[in-house]
Amino acid sequence: MRLEGFVGDYLKGITEQWLLIAPRANPGMLEMFRDRDASPLRQMVPWSGEFAGKYLTGAVQVLRVTGHSVLKSWLKKFVGILIGLQDDDGYLGPWSKQYRLTNTNVSERHTWDTWGHYHAMLGLMLWHEETRD
């Protein structure tokens, strides 16, 4: 199936002007996972851990309807990086050890860490369903 017209143009624009650019334009999307235990702790919004998973979920849905080969190749790299940032205990979020899955942070504010894991797992599950990778 090939999408043309307004919808095809829209998906092409999303792919080329957002999905292929966003993680490079905003490296913090993944860096927050890499340096989650670095000192001093990052100042983050409560929903910080959701960005990578929501990005991946949306990107896979676009991939499903477009079959865009460059997007698929890029997402394979993105998924590899994301999986590589999972800690030995299975944690896949941006919060330091003392705040993992407690839904609080250093400022004693609530975080959405559980939701961040949901979005990461959903994105990875959709990626696997689409690619068997």
Span 9-54, pLDDT tens digits? 999 999 999 999 999 999 999 999 999 999 998 889 999 999 999 9
Note the pTM of the prediction, 2 decimals. 0.94
Q: Quote the domain boundaries for residue 88.
A: 5-131
Distance of CA 52 to the CA centre of its chain: 2
Measured in residues, the chain has a length of: 133
**pLDDT value, residue 106:** 79
**pLDDT value, residue 73:** 98
Q: How many domains does the chain have?
A: 1
CA–CA dist 73, 4 (Å, integer): 22
In the predicted model, is pLDDT for residue 1 greater than 90?
no
Q: What Rg do the C-alpha atoms of the chain give, in angstroms? A: 16
| Band of residue 109 on the pLDDT scale cut at 50, 70, 90 | confident
Provide the token pair at 11.
Answer: 């998906």
Sequence-ordered list of residues with C-beta below 8 angstroms from that of 8, at least 6 positions apart, any chain? 2
